[in-house]
Amino acid sequence: MLTFVAKRLLLAVPTLLAVLTLVFVLVRIVPGDPTIVILGDQASNEARQALRERLGLNKSIGAQYVDFLVQVASGDLGRSLTTNRPIVADVAAVLPYTIELTLAALFVGCIVGIPLGVVAAQRRDGLVDWFARIVSLAGLSFPAFVSGILLLLVFAIQLRWFPVISTSNASDPLERLRALVLPAINLGFLMVAYVTRVTRSGMIKALGDDYVRTARAKGLVPRLVVWRHALRNVLVPVVTVVGLYLGVLIGNAVLTEIVFNRPGLGKLIVTALNQRDYALLQGLMVVAALAVVVANILTDLTYGLVDPRVKTA
């Protein structure tokens, strides 16, 4: 397994390099000037030019690219142009929140989506099946900022069960959990949609297979037939979807982070882009790309757990 992980990480290097290069070039093509953000709109051209020289922004793009590669190769993501803070510190400050939210959304997605998909398949065209299909459609079509506001209006303002804005100042773990619930549901809604669909269609097929008919004929309890035998075979495509959309979750988290005012990687990327903070944006995109690579590796490893026939050599 270690060999497998090492091979996959090595293969990730050219991927990361490609992402880095693309971000490096694209950010510099987009119009905008970080010196206006740093110095404000009352600063003269002279002052901005002097700052560009100090930040090395007056060098050719090629020279800036080489400087950047050398820096990254030595493990240094550099410093933010606007705050001068080490980018590693900024990433370390927000990454735990992104991981927390993504895992919570994943949990919501699986804990709701898998049972809902199973029951919908068992009672095809029944009330539960229709409900599952509507939930799935809503999850895919509802914009996250709309569902987020609705959740806040109902559960935070009317019922006062949860806070409106998240705070990392909460030293009490229960308070922190309370602040995570609504954002997790908001982001998890998308995951519920995907997982329900894949589980439902997989279960419909599995429940019609010969081995299930045989298990029923042998007199096995229906609950065991469905949850132990049929579902086991459906989990592989479910894991595939979860792994595939984990990257989507990380990207989609930005809207949830903004609506619920949670710190996070996505929100920081948007801020860096708005401020034309090239250095911060590059560093964050490296981390985001690495996160997707790690997610894919974990997905591949999970196959082995779910289906012993799959070996990770």
Partner 1 sequence: MRQILMAATILVGLGIGAASAQTTLNIGMAAADVGQLDPHRATTTQDKPVVSWIFNGLVRFKPGSASLESLEPDLAERWEQTPDGLSWTFFLRKGVKFHGGYGEMTADDVVFSLRKAGTSQTSSFSADYASVEAIEAVDPHTVRIRLKQPIPSLLGLVANYHGGNIVSRKAVEALGADFRLKPVGTGPFAFEGYKPGESVTLVANKEYFRGAPKIDRIVYRFIPADAARDLAFTSGELDIVYGRQDQRWAERFKKEANVVVDVVRPAELALLHLNTKMKPLDDKRVRLALAHAINRAQIAQFKGDLVAEPGVSVVPAGYLGTDDKAPLPKHDVAAAKKLLAEAGHANGVTVKSVQTSLPTMLNSMQIVQNQLKQAGIDLQMEVVDHQTFHANIRKDMSGVTYYSAARFPVADVYLTQFFHSNSIVQTPTAVTNFSHCAVADKEIEGARTATDPARQKELWMQAQRKIIDEVCAVVLFEQLQVWARKTNVDLGYKFDGAIHLGPVITETTAKK
Q: How far, in Å, CA of 46 to CA of 89, rounded? A: 32
| Beta bridge pairs of residue 86 | 79
Q: Which residue reads 């068992």 in tokens? A: 122
Out of 68, 194, 245, 260, point to the residue binding partner 1 (CB under 8 A). Answer: 260
* Number of helical H runs and strand E runs in the chain: 13, 0
Distance of alpha carbon 169 from alpha carbon 173, whole angstroms: 11
Q: Phi, psi (5° rounding) for residue 56?
A: 80, 15
Return the residues of window 189-248 that contact partner 1 according to CB under 8 A: none
Give the position of tokens 């099946």: 129
- Minimum CB distance to partner 1, residue 247 (Å): 22
x/- binding map, residues 65-104, to partner 1, per CB under 8 A?
-----------------xxxx----x--xx----------
Query: What does the buried/exposed string (b/e) look like for 167-178 if buried means 16 or more CB atoms within 10 Å of the residue's CB?
Result: eeeeeeeeeeee
Residue 33 is a binding residue for partner 1 (CB under 8 A): yes
Q: Which of 98, 71, 100 is nearest to 287 (CA)?
A: 98
> Which residue lies nearer to partner 1 by CB, 38 or 190?
38
User: Binders of partner 1 among 115-174, rule CB under 8 A?
Assistant: 145, 149, 152-153, 156-157, 160, 163-165, 167-169
# chain residues binding partner 1, by CB under 8 A: 51
List all residues 6 or more positions away from 286 whose beta carbon is below 8 Å from its beta carbon: 16, 19, 20, 72, 77
Query: Which CB atom, from 3 or from 158, has the smaller least distance to partner 1?
Result: 158
Residue choice 2, 14, 29, 44 for contact with partner 1 (CB under 8 A)? 44
When binding is defined by CB under 8 A, the residue of 43, 204, 298, 306 that contacts partner 1 is 43
- Least distance from partner 1 to the Cβ atom of residue 123, Å: 38
Q: Of the two residues 64 and 80, which places its CB atom closer to partner 1 in the complex?
A: 80
The radius of gyration of the chain's CA atoms, rounded to the nearest angstrom, is 24
Least separation in angstroms between residue 284's CB and partner 1 is: 12
Which CB sits closer to partner 1, 38 or 293?
Answer: 38
Binding piece for partner 1, criterion CB under 8 A, among 5-13, 24-32, 63-71, 290-298: 24-32
Strand (E) or helix (H) holding 64: helix 61-73
- Listed residue (257, 105, 272, 118) closest to 189, CA to CA: 105
Give how far Cα 242 sits from Cα of 1, 11, 12, 133, Å.
Answer: 21, 22, 20, 18
Helix (H, G, I), strand (E, B) or coil at 158: helix
> Which window, 14-22, 56-64, 98-106, 263-271, contacts partner 1 (CB under 8 A)?
263-271
Whole-angstrom Cα distance, residue 214 to residue 204? Answer: 16
Please say which residue, 60 or 169, places its beta carbon nearer to partner 1.
Answer: 169
* 69 vs 164 by CB, closer to partner 1: 164
CB of 86 to partner 1, least distance (A): 11
Is residue 197 within 8 A of residue 262, CB to CB? The reply is no
Taking the least distance from each CB to partner 1, the nearer of 156 and 301 is: 156
| Residues of this chain that bind partner 1 (CB under 8 A) | 30-33, 36-47, 49-50, 54, 82-85, 90, 93-94, 145, 149, 152-153, 156-157, 160, 163-165, 167-169, 258-261, 263, 267-268, 270-271, 274-276
